[in-house]
Amino acid sequence: MNADLFPLEDAIATLSETADPVKAIEMRKYHKTQRPVLGISNPTIDAAATAWRQEFDLDQRLHLAIQLWDSGIFEARIAAAKLLAQARIRPDDTAAWELIKTWVPQFCGWAIADHVCGAGAKRLVWDPSRLDEVEVWTTSDHLWTKRAALVMTLPWTKQNNPKPAEIQARERILGWAADYTTDHRWFIQKSIGWWLRDLSRHDPDRTKSFVQEHGDKMKPFAVKEALRKLPK
């Protein structure tokens, strides 16, 4: 099926099959968002995005993702991100990465941002040279762009036996985190704690050394989060 023949209205109708107006009110309040919310569960969004990934080629998926994102609907933006959340995107994932980058400055809350960062993380793993582009975000005045630099690089916390290039990338990102320690906005501190907490599962000694060196500049809750998975 050509995505041009699959209008946004049909995509929204698919997503809305399990829409719950009461849940929509609760979600709008929980996420503190003013954008339209349909009250749709994540499994429903997952199912729709999976079906569309299987049915459409890359150009069609990009076309649909743009439509979903531009609708401004909370769940549609999450679905747009999920359309691009694949380990491999053939034949060339450059267009997907470029689209993800345009979404980052539009982040206005953690939920949509985290889904997009999940998709972006796969594009970074596919081409780690893109860390050069992400590094620019670390000095952004936009809270969610700055936060995205750590959330999107979480795959570098998960390597048990990292190769030299992966260790170098990990240390580079930890350098960003060190610079973030003096930014005491809650979501920035939370992102530091999150990154270190995930790293602690695979490299507890490096997590401890980071906290020993920089913990005095971090908020106590971020230090606690960083060390939460380590043995007492």
Tens digit of each residue's pLDDT (9 = 90 or more) over 112-170: 999 999 999 999 999 999 999 999 999 999 999 999 999 999 999 999 999 999 999 99
133 and 226 within one domain: yes
The CB density around residue 17, as the number of other CB atoms within 10 Å, is: 10
The residue type found at 58 is L
145 and 78 within one domain: no
68 and 162 within one domain: no
What percentage of the chain carries pLDDT values higher than 90? 87
Which pair of tokens denotes residue 21?
A: 């107006």
Which domain covers residue 224, as residue numbers?
Answer: 127-232
pTM over cut 0.75: yes
Residues 6+ apart with CB under 8 A from 68: 8, 11, 76, 77, 79, 80, 83
Angle at 229 between CA 194 and CA 231, to 5 degrees: 150
For residue 171, what is the domain's CATH number? 1.25.40.290
223 and 133 within one domain: yes
132 and 93 within one domain: no
Tens digit of each residue's pLDDT (9 = 90 or more) over 60-91: 999 999 999 999 999 999 999 999 998 788 76
- Band of the pLDDT at 23, cuts 50, 70, 90? very high
| CB-count burial class (<10 Å; 0-12, 13-18, 19+) for 160 | exposed
225 and 132 within one domain: yes
